[in-house]
Amino acid sequence: MRAGKARWIIAAAVCVGAIVFMVTQLGANLNYLEPVSVAVEQRESRGDRQLRIGGVVKPGTLSERAGGGSTFELTDGDATIAVDLSGAPHQTVTDNPDGCVPVVVEGHWQGETFAGDRMILRHGAEYDDAKHDIGDVQDRLDCERSVADAEAASDLPSDEG
């Protein structure tokens, strides 16, 4: 009887320990995915934890370092941040330096700069990307609008001009 009770206590302790370990791991590995403007608002509260920021690469801001890595600006139309990416930017971004390419950058804040570890292109990873494209198109339109607004405000000539 005593042995049986002891077994139940040990089993319960193991279960509780496993649950605590899981909850701890879950909390520590939670990556927030936020658009640029929300990420800027939440910058203080996020500290240096890992997160993903979605937006589009602002045209003409991409600069690659010879030793690897790159810098660019990421925007969602409402806010813009500076990104220092340690890995290689996606080919689609390097091929379209003047396009508004939607991406997700994973990394953490270092002051006001976002230190990116990797860049993910925003498209459906599986078989059907039609729905996800809705968001991408919206971001791209926002980006193109913000670029046009910026050009108009600074009175810069546009490509067509």
Partner 1 sequence: MRQAIGSFSLTLAATGAISGAVVLAVGAARHDVRWMRLGRRFVPVVLIGAIGAVAAMQWALNSHDYSLEYVYSNVANATPRLFTITALWGALEGSILLWGLILAIYIAATAHRFRARADDPVVAWATAVQLFVALFFFALMLGPADPFTSHASPITPFDGQGPNALLQNHPLMAFHPPMLYAGYVGFTIPFSFAISALITGRFGEGWLADTRRASLVAWGFLTVGIVLGAWWSYEVLGWGGYWAWDPVENASLLPWLTATAFMHSVMVQERRGMLRVWNLSLVIATFALTILGTFLTRSGVIESVHAFSESDIGVWLLVFLGVIVLGSLVLIGLRGDALRTPGRIDSPLSREAAFLANNLLFAAFALVVLIGTVYPLLAEALRDERVSIGEPYFRAMTAPIGIGLLFLMAVAPVLPWRATSNAVLRDRLLVPAAVGVAVMAVTVAFGARGNAQVAAFGLGAFCLAGIGRNFGVGVQARRRARHEGVVRAAGRMVRGNPRLYGGLVVHVGVVLIGVAIAASSGYTAKREVQLATGESVTISGYTVSYLGSVETVTDQKSTVSARMRVERGGDDLGVYEPSISTFPSATTAIGTPSVRTSWRNDLYLSMSSTEDADGRIGITIAVNPLIVWLWIGGAVMALGTVVCLVPRRREPSLSGAGAGAGVGAVAAAADMAGETRPEDPTVVGAST
- Is residue 128 within 8 Å of residue 63, measured between CB atoms? no
Binding mask 119-138 for partner 1 (x = CB under 8 A): --x-xxxxxxx-xx--x---
Give the interface segment with partner 1, choosing from 28-36, 71-79, 108-116, 147-155 (CB under 8 A): 28-36
> Which tokens go with 113?
């700069």
Using rule CB under 8 A, residue 22 touches partner 1: yes
Q: Does 89 bind partner 1 (CB under 8 A)?
A: yes
Contact pick of 44, 45, 47, 91 for partner 1 (by CB under 8 A) = 91
CB-wise, 30 or 150, nearer to partner 1?
Answer: 30
Residue 60 is a binding residue for partner 1 (CB under 8 A): no
Q: Which residues of 105-138 are buried (b: 16+ CB within 10 A; e: fewer)?
A: bbbebeeeebebeebeebeeeeeeeeeeeeebee
Residues 157, 158, 159, 161, CA torsion sign: negative
Q: Is 17 in the site for partner 1 (CB under 8 A)?
A: no
73 part of the interface to partner 1, by CB under 8 A: no
Q: Are 50 and 57 in contact (CB under 8 A)?
A: no
Token pair 């936020």 is found at: 34
Residue 96: DSSP 8-state: -
Q: In the complex, which residues of this chain contact partner 1 (CB under 8 A)? A: 18, 21-22, 25-26, 28-34, 50, 52, 64, 66, 68, 87-92, 94-95, 121, 123-129, 131-132, 135
